[in-house]
Every structure is written in C-alpha cells, then in structure tokens.
Homo-oligomer: A and B are copies of this chain.
Amino acid sequence: MLPNEAGISRRALLSMIGTAAGSAVMYGAMSKMGLAQESTWTGRLDLQGDPKGASVLILGAGLAGMTAAFELRNAGYTVKVLEYRKKAGGRCWTLRSGDTYTELGGFTQQVDFAEGNYINPGPWRIPSDHFAVLDYCKRFGVELEPFQQVNYNAYVHDTNAFDGKPQRFKEIDADFRGGVSELLAKVADQGMLDQMVTEEDAEILVSALKGWGVLDDDLEYVTGEASSSHRGWKVPEGGGTTGKPVPSEITPLSVILQSGLWSKISGGHHLHMQTTMFQPKGGMDMVARGFEGEVGDLITYGAKVTRIENTETGVRATWIPSEGEGEETVEEADYCICTIPFSVLGQIETNFSSRMTGIIQNMPYYSATKVGLEFKRRFWEEDEHIYGGISYTNLPISQISYPSTGYFSDGPGVLLGAYVWGAYSYQFNALPGEQRVEKALEYGAQIHPQYHDEFKTGVGVGWHRVPWSLGCFGQWKDRDADYMDACQMDGRTLMAGEHISYLPAWMEGAILSSIDAVKRLHETVTAT
C-alpha cells in the first residue's frame, strides 16, 4: 500500500478509525480516501489533469488493452500497444469462412463455413447490464442484434431420463412450476405454514400460486387448457372446424424430479442471462474491430513479448516477432498496463515483485472447448421450430446453441455444437480438431438425428491450446487473499483483463478492469 501524507498506511489508518468509531464513520472515511465501493462503470471516462508527457506501454490488444489505449490516448498519454497476434481482439474472436487457425501443438484447421456464417469460440453474448461493452459498441458503431438465450421450444435432455428422449423446455418448465405450486398451495391452504407466514399471507400465497402455477380450483396442476396453454398442446389451437385444441398430458412432478431436468431450466433467471441480451451483427469480433478502428494505429502486431522489467523510472519490454525469425526489439515507457493472461504471463521473464509473481503463477485457467458445426440447412428451425436459444444436455457437449441471426434463411447454418467444460474439455482438447467435431456430431445426433444427413463442416477450439490465452479464463484460488494485491501497481506496471475483475470470462470484466487501471494510473501520474 502507498503511504499517505502522514506516513501511515491507509489500511492501518482505516483500521484505527474502524475500531474507534464503528463502520459508518469508517465508510465515510473510506469514501473520502477513494476506496469506498462504487461501480467500476460510472459512465464515460473524462480524465482531467495533465499527464505530463507520460508514456504507457500496453501489452495485449484484447478488449482490456484497447480500452486502455483508447482512454489513455484521449487523456493525452503517449501510447503504444504490443500484440502477439496479427489482429486485435484476443479472446473476442470469430472464425469465418477462409480463416485458418493453428493451435498449440501445431494442429491447423481450415474454416469452410458458407459466406456470412461464423462461430465465436470465445464470448458470444452481451447481457444488457454490461453497460461498458454496450456503450463502447455504441460509440464505435458496432451494430448489435438480440441474442436469444432462453428458447422455450428448445430441448432439455438427459440420457437417463425419458428414455434419453429430449424434452421441450416449455414442458419441463411448466410442469415443474405447476407441481411445485400445487404442493405449496395445498400446504398453505391446509394451514400447514402457520409457523412461517400469517394467515392473510397464506391466502394471498394460494392465489399467487394458482396463477403462477396454473392450478385448478382444487389447487391441482392437471392436464387441461390451463397447463397446455403453458406446456404446449397435443393438438394446438387452430381455426374453423378443426380449431378446437387437444390438451397434452402433464408429466407428474415425481417424474420431473427423478429426471433431473429441473436443473436445466434456470439458466435464464441469472442476471447475466436474462432477456434482453445482444450479440454484434456478423460475429463477436465486430466488437474488437470497433475498438481496432479507434486504436489500431497504436498497435504493433505480431509481437511476442519475451521480457518485462520494471526499471527505476519506468518499464522496459522486449519482444520478438511472433512468427518467423527476427531481432529482439526493446520498448520503453513510463508505465505499463499488462493485459497478458496470467497463463501466458507466467511463462514470460519479468522482474515483478515476488508477491505478484506468486499470484501470476498460482492462477489456473479454466478449460473449455467449443465446436462450431455447419449444416446444409437449418433443420432445427424447419423441422423443430427452434429459433435461437439453447438446448441443454448431460452429454459432454453440455449444450447446443442455435444461431440468433439469419432466422428462416434457406442456406447452411452454424450451431454451437458443443460447449465442453472442465474434465470433458481436457478429453476434447487432447483430440485433433476434426475429431472434436466428430465427437460433437456423435453426441449431438442423440438430440438431433438430422445431424447424420445434414452435416457439412465444423471447427473445434480447445481453449488450453489457444496460443494467446492458454485457457478460457482466470480462476482465483483464493480471491479474498490475492485479488487486491494483484490490482496494485507493481513497480510501474498495472494488470488488467477479465482475470482482474469480478466478471471473469466476460468482456465487461476485461473492460471494467482496464478502466479501473486507467483511472489509477492517471491518479498516480497527476498526483506526482
């Protein structure tokens, strides 16, 4: 910690205040000292104060690096960015027709998708509470379109339930809510909640559950018009002489419970998965291109950093060309914002403090594999009326996500055919790309038999083999102990990226961590 003017560390001072006067006073004191909790995103940055000619070297042209480059140049800094790849974006990445991807180990995959089709191996959706991403997209002219997370007509699937037959989300969702509502409404009606709710509340609760769970007057969730209006009809409502619908049979709660499929209907309740969500038109890397359009002139591409040194008065980084032969180049600057993932940074020579080095070495990166599958036609729409959204399964592929764009079009379409996590992911990653695709096809065909006839081409990305990240996202083993120290300026270097945030794996986390680093760097510069 930096000492304050009186030579007492902030933490020590706060501790004294806290002990003496209680937390309200302490909060007030923290506020004045700029440590109090406020949102990282407080609107567009408007950095006041003279940067005094300071220069900043930014390592990595992912979203964190480019955010820093954009904001620091705007504030008057001299900025340079080193990027390992030949393009910007880092994990904000899209694979399209004509792309070639060579992973660690040398496997190369050619992407043969039809023109306009793509897969996002990294981030693929933007929650509507990710204000920073949304705002930069607006500023940089990145066009967004809705991303469908939940589709009630998609499937939930478990090989051990319903004889392995996929069930429609809407059926399991309605039947679970109905069954649960029936049980609670009945115990409330029988006065069994007397210890827990007032009589009046119990009465309202029964009414509420009747509506929410579509119960009948006997407080039962039964086969009929009400349940079919939620879970779907056997024969749907129509017109004329054939218009009268036929209800579908509800599935009893016991069967739903035993199936385990209730575990697959809650995703859309999570803050980051709630409607409305977005994606850029044309692929997630349109976000990266938006940033690149602003700061591309600051980026040196194809630069593999080999050494980072804090010096007495600044920072020095050495790099070589990331491909082919080439001389070492040395860059010097007053400050450094380092957005290189710790998984990669741990393999680079540095003179960071032993505390920082320990944190870097101690951070595992999560493993994930994504497989994009292109099919000759959008059979999920044409045959099964699934427009966007996600089917969930207990198979290693974990989910199948249907494209949220190009609805109703006739040509080939690309599914996210596998989003493999953890242990399964290591198995997938061990395989060459084409075998990852085969695996995804083999599993996915249990949900969509059309896979066999309609498959066209695919690509599989295992994140532990992605040379510029060596993993999907950073995991804190002991966040409480280490996180704040990782945020501190180490010599003249500040870390930024999704790993330096409470939104790991999200683009918003990368950008917000960068904004926080930029603010603190600027405070340091203007305060000296």
Contact = CB atoms under 8 A, between A and B. Distances in A.
B146 A240 contact: no
A38 interface: yes
Given A176-B208, A177-B269, A38 B138 contact: no
A261 to B, nearest CB: 10
Interface in A210-265: 211-212, 228-233, 235-246, 253-254, 257-258, 262-263, 265
A356 interface: no
B278 A275 contact: no
A308 interface: no
A238 B501 contact: yes
A110 to B, nearest CB: 32
B516 A275 contact: no
A238 B41 contact: yes
A319 B65 CA distance: 72
A502 B229 CA distance: 12
A225 to B, nearest CB: 10
A79 interface: no
A416 interface: no
Nearest to A246: B37
A397 interface: no
Contacts of A258: 201, 204
A235 to B, nearest CB: 5
B208 A387 contact: no
Contacts of A211: 262-263, 266
29 contacts: A128-B387, A129-B385, A144-B407, A146-B146, A146-B148, A146-B404, A153-B274, A170-B274, A176-B208, A180-B184, A183-B188, A186-B196, A187-B193, A201-B257, A204-B258, A208-B263, A212-B262, A228-B271, A233-B271, A237-B501, A238-B513, A239-B500, A239-B516, A240-B517, A243-B483, A243-B509, A243-B513, A244-B483, A244-B502
- For the complex of A and B, the 6 pairs showing the least CB-CB separation, nearest first, are A240-B516, A40-B238, A239-B513, A239-B512, A239-B501, A152-B274
